[in-house]
Amino acid sequence: MKKIHVAVIAMFSILLFGSASYGMIYMYVNQSSLPQKVQVGGWQIGGMNRADVMLELDERLQQLAEWPVILELDEPLAKTLTLTAAQTGAHYDADSFRVAMKQLEEGNLWERAYARYHLAEAFPLELTYDATSLKKQLSPAWEKDTFGSPSNAVRRITPNDKVQYIPEKGVRRIAWDELTRQLQVKLPHDFGALDLEGKPDPIRLQLPLFMMKPEVTVDSLRSEGIERKIIQFSTGLGNSSEGRVHNVSAAAEAIHGMILEPGGTFDYEKIVQKAEKEFGFREAPVIVNGRLTPGIGGGICQVSSTIYNAALLTGLDIVERRNHSLPVKYLPKGLDATFASGAINFRFKNNTGKSLLIHAEVNNHQLVVKFFGTFPENVSYALESRTIETLSVPVKYVSSNVLPDGAQQVLQNGQPGYIVETVRTKRINGKVVESKTISRDTYKAQNRLIARPGNSSVPDEQEPSIVEDGISDTKQP
């Protein structure tokens, strides 16, 4: 009996102790105040009511977000821009503290007790920064309006053919990385700043700037290697018609100012297409199957021929070139370069290693072509054309029913043909180092046409129709 009594007392004691312990834990967990020594971002909240802390936390975060920031600018005109920390892109929060507070209220009794017992004493104030909103206010348009726009450097050729440069103009722009860094350093990192009496002192920052250069600078232009005039070659327009002068001027204008990059190929067909599109061509004599005839674009080959000579005298590589079927008046035989849409082109390659600037213009009834670039001053080229064979004039007879017996009439005086070789000689410091035949050209002889009595005529031989020194009426592919 005594043993039973002892067991009952022991059981009752255990239940009483368990109930007391549970009650104590329940009271421990459900305390409305926070443990002593707890702080958030330097703000001491130990012993304060949790609900009050959460309300005041939001107020304090808002105060930090509204902290005044003044950006100052001295040039070009003194001005200030007043913003809040939030407007600059700052965002304050105390997420780790909020999570800890949530753990004190959620879960079972034991989980909540564990959370309170292990509650940290210090929680950080979290500052994150994103300059997106500030960049919208200080936009590229704002920068352009405030600081202006950059100006590219300009290369110009003076009237006496000197190469000059007008310097570029840089402009100030916001150094965003530096501005972001300074803001993150200067902005409050804890709540201690809110404990000071009076209004918060604004954060003042001199807007950090850098000098932005334009895309084209004097250095970038100089690096192209257009140092000086390296060659000039001219041909006369003689008694050219108004239409022919227009066509020559149009093709020259389409070339004028062209820059041929190192290794680039000059393509005259593209020049002709550009000139036709921008200026149009007029009527002037063209060459069709070895005969001068009215056509459109006559004269454009004087431009290709003049450039051909400039290219030869600069030692450039000729990629494609053919002589006219007839000798031209403005150049010696062997030094011309014809063009026929879709059939004959003129091309050369820039092998100087630097860019080549081409000027072409009609002035005082002269077509003048100039190359500007890099070329050794001790190197020169000379051209010599030699007629190695003169082709006899072929005679062609046609019948005429109006001529009396024994009579004949010359309808067309023929012209002899020529086979011409052109030699280019290279000199260094005045000494010949190379002499090379660069072309062997044939100019066809023109028929001498004679009529004599008869009732039939010999039909003209049908030849493919190729328009030289002009453009075809039918567009070529």
52-92+126-155+168-212 maps to CATH 3.10.20? yes
Q: Which two tokens stand for residue 474?
A: 């039918």
Q: Are 355 and 224 in contact (CB under 8 A)?
A: yes
CB–CB of 268/319 below 8 Å?
no
Nearest to 227 by CA among 152, 151, 166, 161: 161
Tracing tokens 């494609």 back to the chain, one arrives at: 320
Quote the Cα angle for 9-12-16, to 5°. 135
Distances (CA, A) of 451 to 384, 460, 461: 40, 13, 16
Please list the helix, strand and coil fractions of the chain in percent, rounded to the nearest 5, in that order. Answer: 30, 35, 35
Q: Kindly list the distances between the CA atom of residue 351 and the CA atoms of 262, 266, 305, 317, 427, in Å, as whole numbers in the listed order.
A: 6, 11, 19, 7, 18
439 CB neighbour count, 10 Å cutoff: 18
Contact 314, 444 (CB under 8 A): no
Percent of the chain's residues with pLDDT above 90: 56
Is residue 257 classed as helix, strand or coil in its secondary structure?
coil
pTM of the predicted protein model? 0.74
> pLDDT over 70 for what percent of the chain?
84
Cis, peptide link before residue 76, omega less than 30° from 0 = yes
At 290 the pLDDT is 63
For the beta sheet containing 291-296, the strands, ordered from the edge strand earlier in sequence to the opposite edge, are 291-296, 283-288, 467-468
Residue 58 has pLDDT above 50, yes or no: yes
Band (pLDDT 50/70/90 cuts) for residue 394 is confident
What does the pLDDT average to over 225-242?
95
DSSP string, 128-155: EE-THHHHHHT-HHHHHHHH---B--EE
State how far the Cα of 312 lies from the Cα of 314, in Å rounded to an integer. Answer: 5
Q: Give how far Cα 122 sits from Cα of 32, 127, 187, Å.
A: 19, 16, 21
* Per-residue pLDDT, 414: 77
Segments in 313-469 forming alpha helices (H):
none
Quickly state the pLDDT bin for 384 (edges 50, 70, 90).
Answer: very high
Which helix (H) or strand (E) segment holds residue 204: the answer is: strand 203-206
Mean pLDDT computed over 153-164:
96
Domain ranges for the chain: 1-27, 52-92+126-155+168-212, 228-392+415-444
pLDDT at 23 over 60: no
pLDDT band at 472 (very low <50, low <70, confident <90, very high): low
The Cα-based distances of 82 to 85, 134, 138, 196 in angstroms read 10, 12, 12, 21
Mean pLDDT of the chain: 86
Report the alpha-carbon distance of residue 62 to residue 56 in Å, rounded: 10
In the predicted model, is pLDDT for residue 181 greater than 90? Answer: yes
Confidence tier at 115 by pLDDT (50, 70, 90): low
- Angle at 439 (CA atoms; ends 438, 442), nearest 5 degrees: 170
Q: In this predicted model, which residue has the larger pLDDT, 145 or 401?
A: 145
Using a CB cutoff of 8 Å and minimum separation of 24, what contacts does 340-343 make? 340/466, 340/467, 340/468, 340/472, 341/269, 341/272, 341/467, 341/471, 341/472, 341/475, 341/476, 342/472, 342/476, 342/477, 343/466, 343/476
Rounded average pLDDT over 354-376: 97
End-to-end CA distance of the chain: 125
Written as one letter, the residue type at 469 is D
Of 228, 215, 221, 214, the C-alpha closest to 154 is: 221
> What is d(CA 260, CA 369) in angstroms, rounded to the nearest whole number?
14
